[in-house]
Structure 1
């Protein structure tokens, strides 16, 4: 081998990969809540999911405001 196998990557590639990892737990946690009939969810289950969605919304707004998904 005449070329070094370790080449430099732009940090934005890592950022994009992290941004794609975020929806995985979101779907994992929200799917069971979505398939349970509404009359079976107690008040704690409802508010815990609302808190989870609020945290995801705040994180998404922060990411958008910081321009994390911009490819400049």
Structure 2
């Protein structure tokens, strides 16, 4: 047990030392206005580099991403059908789909799925 704790402390100390050294080495000391500008070609930008972004589109994208990941989690259910008990498989799939439907219903009631007002 003493050997394991010694190795953990040694690896933690080594990691901290490497992070401190890399921070000290990577510091940029020369700050140039042209290098800090969005374009390095010598021209000043005409407008802001930050364009307004539709929050509704962002919410739709996040909901799509969440459901896409959940569908990816559902795919292995088809491959384990013959390796597991049918009742367990059905209950697991139904429970997972109910969670998906509850999330979809919640998003629908909150109005996150309404694109046009």
Q: TM-score, normalised by structure 1?
A: 0.76
1:40 and 2:83 aligned? yes
Counterparts of 1:49 and 1:67 in 2: how far apart (Å)? 27
Unmatched 5+ residue regions in structure 1? Answer: none
Q: Which residue of 2 aligns with 1:56?
A: 100
Kindly tell me the number of residue pairs found equivalent between the two proteins: 71
Structure 1 residue ranges (4+ consecutive) displaced by more than 4 angstroms after TM superposition: none
Q: TM-score, normalised by structure 2?
A: 0.51
Q: Residue 22 of structure 1 aligns to a residue in which SS?
A: helix
Question: How many Å apart are 1:49 and its aligned residue?
Answer: 2.5
The higher-RCO structure (CA 8 Å, 6+ apart) is 1
CA RMSD in angstroms comes to 1.9
Question: How many Å apart are 1:45 and its aligned residue?
Answer: 4.0
Unmatched 5+ residue regions in structure 2? Answer: 1-44
Q: Which residue of 2 aligns with 1:9?
A: 53
Q: Which residue of 2 aligns with 1:67?
A: 111
Pair member with larger Rg: 2
Counterparts of 1:20 and 1:27 in 2: how far apart (Å)? 10
